[in-house]
Amino acid sequence: MADDDQGELITKYVFIDTEAFVREKLDWQSKTLVGFSELVRAGHLTVISTSITRREIESNISEVCEHALKAMAKYDVTLRLLNIQSPPFEAARSALLEKYAEFSRNLGVVEVPLSRDAEKLFDAYFSRMSPFSEKKKSEFPDAVVLQSLREWCVSKGQKLYVVSRDPDIKTSCNNDAFLIQVESVAEVLSKALVVKKLHDALFEAVAQNDELFKCIRAKLIHEPVKGGSRFDRVTIDGQITDVYDADLVTLNVINRDGNQFQCEVEFEFELEAAVGIEREYTHDPEIYDTYETFREDVNFHQIVLCEIEIEFEPSKTDSLRVLSVYLGNPRLEISASDLSRQSRYFR
């Protein structure tokens, strides 16, 4: 953390919801989680969690492991020719769970006791108060977690960042005296690394930088696009042909070295794609399928997450220099509603 630009953390205590880890692809070595871990080890942040959250993450790891091994099984011949053996499920699962356990040990995660105040939870459930927006039984774990975190905050007299994009969790944290909802781990990192004035200067400089837009545009051209609708029996496949516009949505600093910044940014792009559309028809009474195909140029909007490395002198608003841009494998998706009526229904 820079001495001249200490961040603007309201509290050092952070809870990370399961869905936030899933958005990080359960990758304990991602740049964001590595940067977060460094701040924890330096004593700037402390991670608070619950046994429910731990078990939810372990369950997600097991599911991801199962899906990965099933995907590998589809290519068993290719993998065998490459001398790559698919590990047994239990061995793979145990190895992945140990990676998570090691990550948690290194963070020194503090598990708070679960709330025993069931009456408050049932009052919220039957009144359809958040997080029970639709009286879903699956929301009980979230309710217990939030109540447990709130009780811990009250007992310690501390506020707590709650990292989650879950709509009901966000509603529960609104106007809460102790729980402060944030969108991502990267947002916590950014609050720890830079003051708001510097963050806003970076945001404006990145949003207006033509060099960055041209660089990202070049990387998006020819990226694959997929989509469709099961209801309409439509399958869409194509690639990006042009990028017309970009609006910066979020910017979070995940690492800083002097005037060099690594940032996680989200842009909303207006994209054009050349796509092939295939629609399936089932005919009665013989019940046989036929297919029709159509081609179209489609314009659509999508938010894309990027990692950028930039050099920026805060006192010079036009000093931004792009050092690197990483898009990874953006999942660009078109829905059937983005198509023209003719393409959707082939009339």
Q: Which residue has the higher pLDDT, 105 or 288?
A: 105
pLDDT in tens, 60-109: 999 999 999 998 888 888 988 889 888 899 999 999 999 999 999 999 99
pLDDT tens-place string over residues 157-196? 999 999 999 998 999 999 899 999 999 999 999 999 999 9
Q: Which pTM does this prediction carry?
A: 0.81
Of the listed ranges 28-42, 44-58, 112-126, 247-261, the one predicted with least confidence: 112-126
Closest to 272 in 3D by CA, of 235, 294, 243 = 243
Predicted confidence band of residue 346 (pLDDT cuts 50, 70, 90): very low
Q: Given CA atoms 131, 135, 141, 145 in this order, what sign does their dihedral have? A: positive
Provide the CATH topology of domain 3-190.
Answer: Rossmann fold (3.40.50)
Going by their DSSP bridges, the two strands 288-311 and 260-283 should be labelled as antiparallel
pLDDT of residue 285: 54
**Under a CB-based contact definition with an 8 Å cutoff, are residues 176 and 150 in contact?**
yes
* Per-domain boundaries in the chain: 3-190, 195-345
Q: What is the DSSP letter of 197?
A: H
> How far apart are alpha carbons 218 and 246 in whole angstroms?
13
Q: Which tens digit of pLDDT belongs to each residue from 310-345? A: 999 988 878 899 999 999 888 898 887 777 755 554
Q: What is the DSSP letter of 72?
A: H
pLDDT attached to residue 134 = 57
Mean pLDDT of the 285-298 span: 70
